[in-house]
Structure 1
């Protein structure tokens, strides 16, 4: 969505609504926009891939139960980093969408400017932020809390086996 230079001096790529569309269309950040089933399937496929990739890190002489718990612990640890990256990207965009001012750089000389949104642009940005991005952040927070709970549970199980 293009806003004319007369209304908005912010460069096209730095306009909050365009940043939202850019994230929504990107390969990595679009995962959180999928339906619940596809989102869960994607996370399961990532976890399975990580389990296969990380299993050679563990020595083959370890008992099978400890081997599995260690592998699960590594997978959930890496999965938490993926979810944190998703959360940070979307939270940056929602912060810019909900804010009444936009900080931007025009020339790359690190001479930042501050632009105050018009009422129409602010309303549009806040609607997108509240109804499109905040539910994604809630989903990512919920998933991240489950993954952190799994890390705690797996760490406790690993401790019991030691």
Structure 2
């Protein structure tokens, strides 16, 4: 961005924010859908065992073992869901900054915000980064979030069944 005589501080430039986020170990997980799904599956199983232990102390569930196992199974989706939401919000923020025509930045603090309009060449470069690098990650995260939501809805429907 220096070749464009950019007034935006280096750490607030969208390209540099993308590079920093790409270096983060946790934020690189969704780049591979298969690897990220495996990581979320491990989180889900770990959370399931914790939820089983917690719900096993309930007097209500002493009479219905299947009910409390199902409740633990589907409520343990909360950790992978929240984790995926956090990753989605981070990548979506970078996507919006890369595709925006303007860059909002702060020179020294929250009280002195400025707006810089990107030159066309920089907009094209950052738009290319957004479409080739960030958009596939967002697509993976949306697909995984959709699967988690479907599982959670199935769990709600099963739990509402009084025959269990």
Runs of 4 or more off by more than 3 Å in structure 1?
none
Q: Aligned Cα RMSD in Å?
A: 1.7
Alpha-carbon displacement from aligned partner over 1:7-55 (angstroms, at most 9, x marks no partner) = 211111111111111111113211111x232122111111112112332
Q: State how far apart, in whole Å, the 2-side matches of 1:122 and 1:53 are.
A: 47
TM (norm. structure 1) is 0.90
Q: State how far apart, in whole Å, the 1-side matches of 2:3 and 2:114 are.
A: 14
Q: 1:37 aligns with which of 34, 37, 41?
A: 34
- Name 1:59's counterpart in structure 2: 56
Q: For 1:1-150, list aligned pairs within 5 A.
A: 3-4=1-2, 7-33=5-31, 35-60=32-57, 62=61, 63-150=64-151
Structure 1 position 157 matched with structure 2 position 154:
no
Change in Cα spacing, 1:65 to 1:16, as seen in structure 2 (3 Å) is: same
3-state SS, counterpart of residue 110 of structure 1: helix
Residue 6 of structure 1, CA deviation: 6.2
- Structure with more of its chain in helix, by fraction: 2
Q: Unmatched 5+ residue regions in structure 2?
A: none
3-state SS, counterpart of residue 104 of structure 1: strand
Q: Unmatched 5+ residue regions in structure 1?
A: none
| More divergent stretch after superposition (16-25 vs 35-44) | 35-44
Q: State how far apart, in whole Å, the 1-side matches of 2:128 and 2:51 are.
A: 42
Residue 109 of structure 1, CA deviation: 4.5
Q: State how far apart, in whole Å, the 1-side matches of 2:6 and 2:97 are.
A: 14
TM (norm. structure 2) is 0.89
3-state SS, counterpart of residue 10 of structure 1: coil
